[in-house]
Amino acid sequence: MKNKVMVLTKVIFKNSFQNMETAKSTNESKNKKSKSMIILYIFAFIYLAGIIGVFSNGLIKELIAINQEEMFLGLILLAIAIFVLIQTIFSAINLLYYSKDNEYILPLPIKPSEIVAAKTNVLLITEYSIVAILGLIPLTIYGILTSASILYYISMLIVLIAFPIIPVLISSLLVLIVMSFAKFTKNRNRFQLIATLFILVVVFALSFTMNDSTTTPEQMAQMVIKANGLVEMLRGAFPTLGMAIDGLTNVSLENQILNLFLLVVTTTVIYIIYIAVGQKLYLKGAVGNLYSGKKNKKKLDEAKAFKKSTLFKTYVGKEFKILIRNPIFLMQCVLPAILFPILIIVLTFAGMKGEQNGVEMDITSMVTNKTSIYLGVGILCAIQFFLMFIYISATAISRDGQNAVFMKYIPVPLMKQIDYKVFPNIVMTTFMNILTIVMVEYLLKLPIIYLLLITIAGIMMGVLQSYISIIVDLKKPKLEWSSEYAVVKQNMNLIWPVILGLLNITVMIILTVVVSGFINSYIFICIIAVVYLFLTMLVRNYIEKNTIKLFEKIY
């Protein structure tokens, strides 16, 4: 079994990552280009790591000052658990069920449990790359700042390997259970959509409960007084969180080893249960998804079926239909625009606004200067953060796969087609923008003109991001894929919206700090909007002048 699982893992993984380089380019130029790309990616990772590092460094020092540094471990591990739990929902449903490679894998003489194990391995490996940035850097900095021994670093590696497994398994298990009902459905598309939304709601609800603290004010007071008492509050938030924290903190060597051992054993037991469930349930869902039964021949409504439409409407309509009807694209490209702002803003403010720890906090009255430059830029930074997860433009060419050549043989100018392809991204970023602004207004009650200016600047930021992202996709399109999962998840291009977004946030913050003393906040937000507009015009102009060159890799 082990052998087959390993081989299958390797094949699925390689298959997803193949074509990272364009296969048809020459060896010499390929080598040169891939070398410069590697350098660029290393630079990008260092930049990302740097931001996380600076943030961690500040937070740990603050916590050390109040004798609560272990709280940091709890927070980082909890963040990893929530992040992996939500991420895996998207990935697991895609890789296990909606992936094209099922058509080739299912007929092979491989047990369902082996397929599940291999696909889960791929999920895990993908999540580890995120854990490496989100976990390894902060925990290493923690080790340095607390002058930890070598034992801490060994424990850290064990924890970072073992701890993310259970969130992956919980999400995947949920997916296995819900999708096993697929065979009872006649309308495959509707079932996929409802099942996906149902699982998302369950996982979000789980994340909410994990964040919910039931500590009384008296307990809270005691925790604050006691050295590293605050971390106690987090222990129960996730099944293995306590073990992971104790595995990292050195109360006694035996205790540390015992907790690490417990963490590994618990993870192994849950893994065995998961594989057993996979053996029983996987085929029910997978086959149900592949063979949707009898095809219904729905009659054409002749009165509506042959209606002429404008080129803009028909092209953008096609883009939206493909985005919405494909569950993988819907989940990874469209839903984040709606879900992330709601989830993060509600999560952040719910705790502050509601009655927590017996202290009533009203965020509306807490913010006294409603037209503060920092507040405006802060909201724009939040919008920029959400923008980083909207991949419609960044995958606009790759999503078409080998059909992308279609763009080149139809009699429609390429620049026009780029505008049409970018449009859904602009629509969704604008929607996310308005959603965020509405929630902010509900919570903070800002003056309407100030809010309007922030909205305009935010929308311009979205338009700029839409055009930049499509350049990234045009320069390195991922056209040969066997699973849609590869386009949205195992696609290195998608790091660029994150890098550029973080860069934008950094620049905005630095500029704000520099100019905040002598510029009116209304004017500053106006300037930001104008700068984005100007940059958008520059970027669009660049695309227009270089269309033929930019489309060279699509053939």
Partner 1 sequence: MIKIENVSKSYVKGKKSIDNLNLEIKDGEIFGFLGPNGAGKTTTIKMITGILNIDEGDIFIDGKSITKEPIDAKKEFGFVPDSPDMFLKLKGIEYLNFLADIYGIPNEKRKERIEELTKKFEIYDNLNSEMQSYSHGMRQKVVICGALLNNPRNWILDEPMTGLDPKSSHDLKEMMRKHIKDGNTVFFSTHVLEVAEKLCDRVGIINKGKLVFVGTYEEMKNKFKENKSLEDLFLEITENEE
Number of other residues whose CB lies within 10 A of the CB of residue 506: 14
Q: Is 107 in the site for partner 1 (CB under 8 A)?
A: no
Q: Is 546 in the site for partner 1 (CB under 8 A)?
A: no
Q: Is 326 in the site for partner 1 (CB under 8 A)?
A: yes
Burial class (CB in 10 A: 0-12, 13-18, 19+), 92: buried
Q: How far is the CB of 185 from partner 1 (least distance, A)?
A: 15
Q: How far is the CB of 314 from partner 1 (least distance, A)?
A: 4
Return the HEC string of 241-279: HHHHHHHHCCCCHHHHHHHHHHHHHHHHHHHHHHHHHHH
Q: Is 405 in the site for partner 1 (CB under 8 A)?
A: yes
Q: Is 411 in the site for partner 1 (CB under 8 A)?
A: yes
Q: Is 545 in the site for partner 1 (CB under 8 A)?
A: no
Residue position matching structure tokens 């895996």: 88
Nearest residue to 393 (alpha-carbon basis) of 431, 437, 356, 423: 423
Burial class (CB in 10 A: 0-12, 13-18, 19+), 355: exposed
Query: Would you give the distance in Å from CA 121 to the centre of its chain?
Result: 19
- Whichever of 2 and 304 has its CB closer to partner 1, that residue is 304
Q: Is 2 in the site for partner 1 (CB under 8 A)?
A: no
- Whichever of 309 and 369 has its CB closer to partner 1, that residue is 309
Residue position matching structure tokens 């149900």: 288
Strands 359-360 and 355-356, sheet pairing: antiparallel
Nearest residue to 196 (alpha-carbon basis) of 292, 286, 93, 287: 93
Distances in Å between the Cα of 185 and the Cα atoms of 98, 314, 423 are 16, 31, 34
Which residues are CB-contacts of 519 (< 8 A; sequence separation ≥ 6)?
Answer: 373
Q: Is 403 in the site for partner 1 (CB under 8 A)?
A: yes
Identify the three-state secondary structure at position 163.
coil
Q: Is 147 in the site for partner 1 (CB under 8 A)?
A: no
Distances in Å between the Cα of 204 and the Cα atoms of 198, 328, 463 are 10, 18, 29
Q: Which of 107, 225, 308, 369 touches partner 1 (CB under 8 A)?
A: 308
Q: How far is the CB of 40 from partner 1 (least distance, A)?
A: 24
Site for partner 1 in 265-294 (CB under 8 A): 292
Q: Which of 413, 523, 534, 537 touches partner 1 (CB under 8 A)?
A: 413
Q: Which of 3, 295, 354, 355 touches partner 1 (CB under 8 A)?
A: 295
For residue 387, what are its two tokens?
């923008």
Q: Which residues pair with 359 in a beta bridge?
A: 356
Q: Is 184 in the site for partner 1 (CB under 8 A)?
A: no
- Whichever of 400 and 419 has its CB closer to partner 1, that residue is 400
Residues touching partner 1, count (CB under 8 A) = 43
Half-sphere exposure of 104 (CA within 13 A, CB side): 9
Nearest residue to 70 (alpha-carbon basis) of 255, 235, 237: 235
Q: Which of 14, 190, 226, 321 touches partner 1 (CB under 8 A)?
A: 321
Distance CA 427, CA 324 (A): 14
Q: Is 300 in the site for partner 1 (CB under 8 A)?
A: yes
Q: Which of 20, 64, 322, 495 touches partner 1 (CB under 8 A)?
A: 322
Q: How far is the CB of 405 from partner 1 (least distance, A)?
A: 5
Q: How far is the CB of 415 from partner 1 (least distance, A)?
A: 11
- Whichever of 296 and 365 has its CB closer to partner 1, that residue is 296
Q: Is 36 in the site for partner 1 (CB under 8 A)?
A: no
Q: How far is the CB of 25 from partner 1 (least distance, A)?
A: 8
Q: Is 297 in the site for partner 1 (CB under 8 A)?
A: yes
Q: How far is the CB of 273 from partner 1 (least distance, A)?
A: 35
Q: Which of 3, 27, 209, 369 touches partner 1 (CB under 8 A)?
A: 27
Nearest residue to 252 (alpha-carbon basis) of 163, 151, 157: 151
Q: Is 307 in the site for partner 1 (CB under 8 A)?
A: yes
The window from 26-34, 85-93, 106-114, 231-239 that contacts partner 1 (CB under 8 A) reads: 26-34
- Whichever of 261 and 406 has its CB closer to partner 1, that residue is 406
Number of other residues whose CB lies within 10 A of the CB of residue 532: 22
Q: Is 252 in the site for partner 1 (CB under 8 A)?
A: no
The window from 111-119, 307-315, 364-372, 501-509 that contacts partner 1 (CB under 8 A) reads: 307-315
Return the HEC string of 286-317: HHHHHCCCCCCCCCCCHHHHCCCCCHHHHHHH
Whats the size of the chain, residue-wise?
555
Q: How far is the CB of 303 from partner 1 (least distance, A)?
A: 10
Interface contacts to partner 1, rule CB under 8 A: 24-28, 292, 295-300, 302, 305-311, 313-315, 318, 321-322, 325-326, 400, 402-403, 405-406, 408-413, 548, 552, 554-555
